[in-house]
Amino acid sequence: MPFIDIRLAGPATREQKAGIVADVTASMVARLGKPAAAVQVNIVELNLENYGAGGQLLADRGAPVAKGDADAVPSQ
């Protein structure tokens, strides 16, 4: 049974998260032959004030991540 943990820097919409779960599940079915019902996906949305990279909080870097654009990381 695959257990997949995904961490996102910033928020994602419910629709985006549903799409991620569907895509990851389909990949496990196609690549590993696992039954879809066995694939477990956990998505954690990291608050940009609680995550840092390069010695700086993401919340303090460049423009904020727009809601609905959770894949983008603020510019350095």
pLDDT above 60 (res 16): yes
pTM: 0.72
pLDDT above 80 (res 72): no
Query: What whole-number percentage of the chain has pLDDT above 70?
Result: 82
Q: Please tell me what DSSP assigns to residue 29.
A: H
CA atoms in the 13 A half-sphere facing the CB of 17:
15
pLDDT above 70 (res 53): yes
Please give the angle made by the CA atoms of 19, 44 and 70, to the nearest 5 degrees.
55
Q: Which residue has the higher pLDDT, 71 or 9?
A: 9
